[in-house]
């Protein structure tokens, strides 16, 4: 009986209210390589995928989802936005 892997949801299916929500573009990184995924505003339901500075590819929602999971299996990690440091001013 094959082991079932826990299915990781794709970032574009996470609601704004969820703690794991990330704004697009979604960037997957492995070493010096990075892949950007963003929605295609002109063609609803489709996505653009671009590796480094190469040509952008247009993918359907299913292709984008499958590609996202394959990239995770290949060792790419979803980049989380860096939190801005807040400066606290000491009053004296």
Q: What is the pLDDT of residues 23-53, one digit of tens each?
A: 889 999 999 999 999 998 888 889 999 999 9
In this prediction, residue 56 carries a pLDDT of: 93
Non-local CB neighbours of 76 within 8 Å, separated by 6+ positions: 28, 29, 30, 33, 35
Average pLDDT over residues 68-72: 94
Domain boundaries, the chain: 17-53+61-78
Its pTM stands at: 0.77
Percent of the chain with pLDDT over 90: 53
Mean pLDDT computed over every residue of the chain: 84
Cβ 64 vs Cβ 49: under 8 Å: yes
């Amino acid at each position: 009986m094959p082991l079932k892997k826990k299915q990781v949801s794709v970032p574009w299916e996470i609601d704004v209210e969820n703690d794991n929500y990330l704004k697009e573009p979604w960037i997957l990184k492995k070493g010096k390589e990075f892949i950007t995924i963003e929605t295609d505003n002109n063609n609803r339901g489709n996505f653009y995928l671009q590796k480094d500075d190469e040509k952008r590819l247009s993918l359907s929602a299913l292709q984008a989802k499958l590609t996202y999971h394959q990239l995770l299996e290949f060792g790419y990690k979803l980049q989380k936005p860096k939190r801005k440091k807040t400066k606290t001013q000491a009053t004296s």
